[in-house]
Amino acid sequence: MIPSVAALLELQVIDQQRLKLRKGREACLSKSDKAKAAWAAADESARTAQAEVDRHGALVRQYTADVQRCEATMAELRGKQPEAKTNKDYMDIINGIEQAKLEKVKREGSIKDLNARIATLQERADQANAKAAELKAQLDAAASGSEAAAQPSAEEAALEAQYNARRADVEPAFLEVYERLARAGKPPLVRVDPRTRATPQGAVLSHNQIEQIRTGKLVVDRGSNAILYLDDAERSAAK
């Protein structure tokens, strides 16, 4: 086996180990991102639910103030009844008191309805807040793991060093094809059976191509553009 292919086979093993570690880190980071998105959505729901409670609470305060105003108006008008000099003045006072009574009854009914709705809304808001707090705890736990996953581990760094050291033994033409396919996530190397001259995909190489591979020339598979190679052990067995 030519040195470049031997080195590439070693690089392929290192790549597989690096990919496994990188996928583990990416899964950890993805988990953190999903936890953050879930918490953000829950937190927004909790804020919206609490805002609805607060809005109804503001209406209760407004209507309570209206009730107090009506009571003050009624008391003031009743105080003026003895001072009425004409029937018109007296009827104006009576009508004013009745209007204040009607508004008071209406506002008190609204307050009762609002308080019932607030109780339901507050229960929902409490549930939303509890869910947001639960997801925040999950986010904090995931975030602690993602901090470590943000950078390659010592094992991954060691594999990177091995890769860089071994790639120096590969001819540039071979390395360019290998790394282009590896980056694309495609198999960069395809083994050729020296007895049948066939690839695992069923393509059959010519005798000339086999000879080129044996003499160390770069030969790529037409279908996948992967580097074709022969195994020394298989060659010996074939002979």
Q: Note the pLDDT tens digit of each residue in 118-137.
A: 999 999 999 999 999 999 99
Q: What is the pLDDT of residue 237?
A: 47
pLDDT at 238 over 80: no
Are the C-beta atoms of residues 35 and 202 closer than 8 Å to each other? Answer: no
Q: Is the pTM of this model over 0.85?
A: no
Angle at 209 between CA 206 and CA 212, to 5 degrees: 155
Name the range with the highest mean pLDDT among 33-37, 45-49, 219-223. 45-49
The three-class DSSP label of residue 202 is: coil
- The angle subtended at Cα 106 by Cα 102 and Cα 110, nearest 5°, is 170
Percent of the chain at pLDDT > 90 equals: 71
Distances (CA, A) of 33 to 23, 29, 30, 140: 15, 6, 5, 11
- Cα separation of 230 and 228, whole Å? 7
pLDDT single digits (tens) 10-37: 999 999 998 888 888 888 888 888 999 9
Q: At 42, is the pLDDT very low, low, confident or very high (cuts 50, 70, 90)?
A: very high
Listed residue (214, 239, 237, 172) closest to 229, CA to CA? 214
The mean pLDDT of 154-166, rounded to a whole number, is 90
Arithmetic mean of pLDDT, 69-97:
94
Residue 198, beta-bridge partner list:
204
- Dist CA 166 CA 154 (whole Å): 18
Burial of 233 (0-12, 13-18, 19+ CB in 10 A): exposed
